[in-house]
């Protein structure tokens, strides 16, 4: 009886040790820091941080729900991410080195982090607040999110497509500003 028990215990120990040394799969939505030395990623619904040289990871979040879409601020002081703490996706922020997590948006629809402003003062995100998906920005200090609406004049100023008719003909249909019928 004892040899069977010892064999079973030894086998179980072997499997447990082996499970701890296997590589991790199913990491998602990686984000590199601006200097390219650290990667932030989502794994099992939480955010993790790992040095790209040694690959050792540490957990950053352990909230209820899922944390995704992590983006590191250009000054590398903050991490913005989308979290489903209360069912829907909202925008959250935390210090890069870890610490208190602050919720920035409180909308009933999904708010999904896209990027940062160059000065690290605003977080850009997409949301369906106005009946269609639009872009918004929110301050790192919180407050009301502002819709980013490029009007017709702004779209023309930010449009880098060719202006003359000859150059426009070189572009594929749909990239000339032409109306394209679905199909």
Chain segment 87-117, per-residue pLDDT in tens: 899 999 999 998 999 999 998 889 999 999 9
Contact 35, 51 (CB under 8 A): no
- Proportion of the chain in helix, strand, coil states, percent, rounded to 5: 15, 35, 45
Query: Any idea what the Cα angle at residue 61 is, between residues 55 and 65, rounded to 5°?
Result: 120
Structural domain count of the chain:
1
Distances from the Cα of 124 to the Cα of 69, 128, 165, angstroms = 12, 14, 35
Per-residue confidence (pLDDT) for residue 132, from 0 to 100: 84
pLDDT of amino acid 24: 54
Residues (pLDDT < 70) of the chain are 1-26, 150-183
Structural domain including 37 reads: 24-150
pTM here is 0.69
Query: What is the per-residue pLDDT for 176?
Result: 41
Residue 149 pLDDT: 77
Task: Let me know if residue 83 belongs to a domain.
Answer: yes
> In angstroms, rounded to a whole number, what is the distance separating the alpha carbons of residues 183 and 171?
19
Which CATH number do you get for residue 77?
2.120.10.30
Give the pLDDT of residue 25: 60
């Amino acid at each position: 009886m004892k040899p069977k028990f010892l064999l079973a215990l030894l086998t179980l120990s072997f499997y447990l040790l082996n499970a701890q040394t296997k590589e991790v799969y199913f990491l998602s939505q990686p984000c590199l820091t601006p200097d390219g030395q650290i990667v932030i990623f989502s794994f099992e619904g939480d955010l993790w941080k790992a040095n790209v040289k040694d690959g050792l990871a540490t957990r950053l979040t352990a909230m209820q729900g899922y944390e995704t879409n992590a983006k590191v601020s250009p000054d590398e002081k903050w991490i913005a991410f989308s979290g489903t703490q209360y069912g829907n996706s909202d925008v959250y922020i935390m210090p890069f080195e870890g610490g208190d997590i602050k919720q920035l948006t409180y909308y009933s629809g999904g708010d999904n982090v896209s990027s940062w402003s160059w000065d690290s003062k605003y977080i850009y995100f997409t949301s369906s607040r106005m009946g269609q998906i639009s872009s918004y920005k929110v301050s790192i200090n919180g407050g009301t999110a502002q819709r980013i609406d490029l009007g017709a004049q702004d779209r023309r100023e930010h449009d880098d497509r060719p202006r003359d008719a000859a150059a426009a003909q070189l572009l594929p249909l749909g990239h000339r500003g032409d109306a394209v019928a679905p199909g």
